[in-house]
Amino acid sequence: MGDKIDGKAIALGVKENIKNFIETRKLNGMNIPKVASILVGNDGGSLFYLNNQEKVAVSLGLEFEKIHLSDNVTEDNLIKKIEELNNDNSVNGIILQLPLPKNMDEKKIISSISPEKDIDCLTFVNQGKLYMGEETFMPCTPKSVLTILKSLNINLEGMEVVVVGRSNIVGKPAAALMLKENCTVTICHSRTKNLKEVCKRADILIVAIGKAKFIDESYIKDDAIVIDVGTNSVEGKITGDVDFEKVINKAAFVTPVPGGVGALTTTLLMKNVCEALEKYEN
């Protein structure tokens, strides 16, 4: 029987560090971090995420500016707003809720965000740095994966990592972060042959494919570490890509859903704001 990894407990530790960072700055009369989050339209999921960002930011002591624009805002006006935030020295991080309305050029708009304030690592500049192994903001979901692994106090160097999923948001950046830790990394996807056999090689299996309970114990090597990044709605409940009840009996560690990777993401996004303030303040 393996151990369940408590993402909420790990998040609490990160939150305490952020609170201490902000309290110290206040006591020394220094600026405190401020984040601006932009939502275009009224997508329910994005609106929920925006409100959750505000709740977490305020609870930690950050300043939060919520910018909710109608879905008929023009590209030029959206870019103008982003450029205003770029030039506002009180704003340290900019979050753009995705997806944008289909009539907008998402890549063009993302590219208008200053790389110094791109705390979600969306711009080509910061993504390029990530894949070159240079210092940059880590995208929050892959950063959650790495934070969880490091909380286990194991030596990641030389471990065989299999990432199931090749999205630009999770799979590819997660693979890049694991390479930086000197792991041996394989990326699998919908066209991978013999997927089960590849997964069974993994010391660490990172799953982000969007298929509820797709991974069962037959995909797992004995005493592997399994990180479930999936969030699927099944009969009104959030379910991961891993069948937790079956896998926990074979793996050494497994993240639950909810309460695993997702419990850390927004907190780590706020940590990126703090790092941006420290790095780029005058």
Of the pLDDT bands very low, low, confident and very high (cuts 50, 70, 90), residue 43 is confident
In this prediction, residue 127 carries a pLDDT of 95
In this prediction, residue 233 carries a pLDDT of 87
Other Cβ atoms less than 10 A from the Cβ of 34: the count is 20
**Residue-wise pLDDT tens digits, 117-136:** 999 999 999 999 999 989 99
Of the pLDDT bands very low, low, confident and very high (cuts 50, 70, 90), residue 224 is very high
237: domain CATH number? 3.40.50.720
- Would you say 199 and 215 are in contact if contact means Cβ atoms under 8 Å apart? yes
**Residue-wise pLDDT tens digits, 135-187:** 999 999 999 999 999 999 999 999 999 999 999 999 999 999 999 999 999 99
108 and 64 part of one domain: yes
Mean pLDDT value across residues 255-279: 96
Annotated binding site: 165-167, 231
Residue 281 counted as domain residue = no
73 and 161 part of one domain: no
54: domain CATH number? 3.40.50.10860
- Would you say 241 and 210 are in contact if contact means Cβ atoms under 8 Å apart? yes
185 strand-pairing partners: 161
Amino acid at site 151: S
Of the pLDDT bands very low, low, confident and very high (cuts 50, 70, 90), residue 261 is very high
Annotated binding site for NADP(+): 165-167, 231
Task: Give the single-character DSSP code of 168.
Answer: T
**Residue-wise pLDDT tens digits, 196-209:** 999 999 999 999 99
In this prediction, residue 282 carries a pLDDT of 66
In this prediction, residue 236 carries a pLDDT of 86
Lowest-confidence region among 58-67, 103-112, 231-240 = 231-240
How many domains, in total, are found in the chain?
2
- In terms of residue numbers, what domain contains 256? 140-263
Question: Average model confidence (pLDDT) for the chain?
Answer: 96
145 and 254 part of one domain: yes
Of the pLDDT bands very low, low, confident and very high (cuts 50, 70, 90), residue 1 is confident
34-40/93-96 β-pairing: parallel
181 and 85 part of one domain: no
Residue 174 counted as domain residue = yes
212 and 256 part of one domain: yes
Domain boundary among 114, 149, 171: 114
